[in-house]
Amino acid sequence: MLNRDVSAHLVTRYVEEKGFGFVDPSASSVIEFWRSAPPSDQEKVLRRGRIYATFRYPNATATGYTAKEPGLENWFDRLARWIRKSYHKTGGLEYAGPGTLDLQLQGWELVPR
């Protein structure tokens, strides 16, 4: 996810051999959002989703790290607080929404990515 109120810093890379580009999350001021999803080859299994961000990136000299915008960490913290407040804690740092809880009652298993 990109929040232009935090930063417009978006680094993309192009893979010539494969013919597509992608956002480089380690160098961009973005939060990765992975939806929970069932693997196509298994029934009643749901892979965990997550939000993830890095707040520093390797500097140009590759001798250290440079901090990303402070607003990125604040935005991430706001999202994490909303999840903790709005969802049900299932253990550790894991939270589940109502749809996932309903699936678990139907016998679905929540597994790591």
Bridge partners (DSSP) of residue 15 are 20
Give domain limits for the chain. 12-111
- At residue 9 the predicted structure's pLDDT band, cuts being 50, 70 and 90, is confident
Mode of pairing for the β-strands spanning 45-47 and 50-52: unpaired
pLDDT greater than 70 at residue 50: yes
CA distance 87 to 49: 13
Structure tokens at 107: 């016998």
pLDDT greater than 80 at residue 22: yes
pLDDT greater than 80 at residue 98: yes
